[in-house]
Structure 1
């Protein structure tokens, strides 16, 4: 069936549009993989896998359609059925269930009318807690229907009716949740800052910190701030794996699983940290080690990188490329991450050598498709200043440029002497000024201005010095 799927109208349009299509089968089993999630992310991940993987397209769409029929998002159900029909027209799930669509549409309208009527009655009674809960119910309803804009508005209306710090934190967490569903990462970061500023009790703060750290790492990763993302993921406490729902959201299953934190954090760290940092901050972290236990291949790849076995590290990452390309969040930055890890591996591998054959480089670092030959890749690294080397095409060597240690030592010594001479002259000048009585002491009442380094104090000092010197 795979060849027919690959040649379908759906994937042909994606191919013509330059959208990435994953042809290789992933290592994970779809049922086992998706069992780690629930809520909107389960359906979102199934939809993304189905629309990206030729190998899993039909299976993922079937599961997504089944999942959609358990919810209230009629529009998404119709979209899934329509897309499956363009991939596999003869599949039983590709035919819409019109009776379900009609019944669910009617039920959704009736529920909306009921919730709207209840909210109006709460507002007439002027009971803040009832109004808050009414807006919350309305937000839940809109979110379940896939109308994230209205859900965001409903949750935001809860703010003026929150009577405690916990209510305010839960409301803001709901806004974070909606923003994640919208893929609005700047909004996610803004709401996370508000949650962090909420005055919560110590035990509530302790439970909430791992969630904030993990979600903040996700937001940083999705906007390309890989270093900040790595820092946040690595600092996520292992308490995250057992934390109770916060804001009514079971974050470990509805947003990020422990496996996701291990993969995202490990890859972002590989892309932005050197070997000593990886050894100390990642492998040496007692908290993050608990996450790495869930994904042993990530820990193995980091260990190999720290031990200077770069080609083995890259081989492990390449084995899981198809899996990561099917991740709804990681796929957007995977090319950047893999590119940085590969570049750093090449640079670090070449440092101990004065020359390496190009054939040896090609053997150690297999091409990934971005460049036609290893010479093209090395040339690109040399031109952008990443790799300090020269290519000898005659003898097919990558040569380190000659260095003159004696010249470097003399240059450093001269620079040090100039710095010392400059510092000594400044000190002699100060001593001469003190000996000539040119020191200006602040008058009474001026101590505050002088100690603060303010503009007025500085100007007064310079004016007094000018008078004494005859200016």
Structure 2
């Protein structure tokens, strides 16, 4: 009987791959959480949880296998099966189906050839609309089977034959979808720029929140946290459900979480009050995450320990997010530094005891952290280690 890695070895392996193991139990229910997403986003989120969550990794990997088998992408099926084998090889062999891979690959190849033959006919007939639709159909197919480079090429070939604002927007959204999956953030922003301000489209009201939300994701990926915060705070979800607006990549709760955390990390108390708590458009999202609204209100009101306590209690949930996972430690550090800095502003002298009470767990001291902040010029202060 084959035996897989033990838990510690598995998560040590994942950490060597650049991921962060999440050992705390998250507050969300996996089944309810994943229902907020569709398409590849649902699979990618399940896979990340399977790679990083000590509590949910098996449930997430099982769900990711099932999700992969609903698609035509055998590559992602084999990818999740490989992780499954590391931790539970016996169960992986039960789930794994070589016959499904072979039959799906054969059907995919046949469909690709059929669409390519049809494209030749369309080009010979010189009908622009048929050519555009042919490229779009081929792109959708290639994207569905995981050939993202081929899909991007097919969608790009639509460009000479688009004739209406709607066509321009549709082509742009297809390309944004591919670039997001490939984490090509600069290309996402460039493509969104090309569809910004498109006039006359019957989807015009839906374009603006889509552009702001997906720009926010790309800017977050580029670590442009302040610009990303502004994008999420400008999303208006009144015209349609956010899942529909963002092609299944985000839900309304994500807009609240991304916008709230990024704003906390980059904005001062006045800006948070005006741009977040008093922002009528964003307030509707923030009501979905009342704990985050409380954390922001605590920061604005100078109750920094309460703010940090709330954020700490939700750290596991945020670390399991597909886009926050890579940035959360940085964002939390930025927020904590702001809390400490703002706490010190009214005082000319503060005891280390009071600082420990406000910002440290019992039995630990904040002195080393303060020294590091002074050395990096985050705060302008000196420590009297004798008198504390």
Shorter-chain TM-score tier:
over 0.9
Deviations along 1:80-100, one digit per CA (max 9) or x if unpaired, are 112101111232565421221
Deviates most, 310-319 or 324-333: 324-333
Q: Given that residues 46 and 63 in structure 2 are in contact (C-alpha distance below 8 angstroms), is that contact kept between their aligned partners in structure 1?
A: yes
Cα gap change, 1:92/1:185 in structure 2, threshold over 3 Å: closer, same or farther? Answer: closer
Mapping for residues 20-99 of structure 1, pairs under 5 Å? 20-91=20-91, 95-99=95-99
Q: CA deviation at 1:206?
A: 2.2
Q: Given that residues 305 and 358 in structure 2 are in contact (C-alpha distance below 8 angstroms), is that contact kept between their aligned partners in structure 1?
A: yes
Give yes or no for the alignment of 1:283 onto 2:277: yes
Number of aligned residue pairs: 384
Q: Per the alignment, in what secondary structure is the counterpart of residue 302 of structure 2?
A: coil
CA separation in 1, counterparts of 2:239 and 2:216?
13
- When normalised by structure 2's length, the TM-score is 0.94
CA separation in 2, counterparts of 1:313 and 1:377?
19
Deviates most, 213-222 or 15-24: 15-24
Structure 1: unaligned runs, 5 residues or longer: 397-471
Q: Per the alignment, in what secondary structure is the counterpart of residue 26 of structure 1?
A: coil
CA separation in 2, counterparts of 1:30 and 1:253?
21
Q: Per the alignment, in what secondary structure is the counterpart of residue 90 of structure 1?
A: helix
Cα gap change, 1:19/1:217 in structure 2, threshold over 3 Å: closer, same or farther? Answer: closer
Q: Given that residues 227 and 272 in structure 1 are in contact (C-alpha distance below 8 angstroms), is that contact kept between their aligned partners in structure 2?
A: yes
Corresponding residue for residue 222 of structure 1: 221
Corresponding residue for residue 264 of structure 2: 270
Larger Rg: 1
Give yes or no for the alignment of 1:379 onto 2:371: yes
Cα gap change, 1:241/1:296 in structure 2, threshold over 3 Å: closer, same or farther? Answer: farther
- When normalised by structure 1's length, the TM-score is 0.78
Mapping for residues 52-451 of structure 1, pairs under 5 Å? 52-91=52-91, 95-201=95-201, 204-239=203-238, 241-242=240-241, 250-252=244-246, 254-366=248-360, 373-396=365-388
Q: CA deviation at 1:127?
A: 1.0
Q: CA deviation at 1:28?
A: 0.8
Q: Given that residues 318 and 324 in structure 2 are in contact (C-alpha distance below 8 angstroms), is that contact kept between their aligned partners in structure 1?
A: yes
Q: CA deviation at 1:16?
A: 4.5
CA separation in 2, counterparts of 1:64 and 1:18?
20
CA separation in 1, counterparts of 2:8 and 2:270?
48
Corresponding residue for residue 425 of structure 1: none
Q: Per the alignment, in what secondary structure is the counterpart of residue 325 of structure 2?
A: helix
Q: CA deviation at 1:253?
A: 5.6
Q: Given that residues 295 and 307 in structure 2 are in contact (C-alpha distance below 8 angstroms), is that contact kept between their aligned partners in structure 1?
A: yes
Q: Per the alignment, in what secondary structure is the counterpart of residue 350 of structure 2?
A: strand
CA separation in 2, counterparts of 1:15 and 1:292?
32
Q: Given that residues 50 and 60 in structure 2 are in contact (C-alpha distance below 8 angstroms), is that contact kept between their aligned partners in structure 1?
A: yes
Q: Given that residues 50 and 59 in structure 2 are in contact (C-alpha distance below 8 angstroms), is that contact kept between their aligned partners in structure 1?
A: yes
CA separation in 2, counterparts of 1:214 and 1:49?
23
Q: CA deviation at 1:242?
A: 3.3
CA separation in 2, counterparts of 1:194 and 1:159?
12
Q: Find runs of 4+ consecutive structure 1 residues off by over 4 angstroms.
A: 92-95
CA separation in 1, counterparts of 2:18 and 2:166?
46
CA separation in 2, counterparts of 1:175 and 1:252?
13
CA separation in 2, counterparts of 1:223 and 1:133?
33
Corresponding residue for residue 7 of structure 1: 8
Q: Given that residues 26 and 317 in structure 2 are in contact (C-alpha distance below 8 angstroms), is that contact kept between their aligned partners in structure 1?
A: yes
Q: Given that residues 207 and 239 in structure 1 are in contact (C-alpha distance below 8 angstroms), is that contact kept between their aligned partners in structure 2?
A: no
**RCO higher in 1 or 2 (8 Å CA, sep ≥ 6)?**
2
Cα gap change, 1:64/1:17 in structure 2, threshold over 3 Å: closer, same or farther? Answer: closer
Q: Per the alignment, in what secondary structure is the counterpart of residue 329 of structure 1?
A: coil
Cα gap change, 1:17/1:101 in structure 2, threshold over 3 Å: closer, same or farther? Answer: closer
CA separation in 1, counterparts of 2:258 and 2:360?
24
CA separation in 1, counterparts of 2:16 and 2:166?
50
Structure 2: unaligned runs, 5 residues or longer: none
CA separation in 1, counterparts of 2:156 and 2:18?
38
Q: CA deviation at 1:395?
A: 1.6
CA separation in 2, counterparts of 1:354 and 1:342?
20
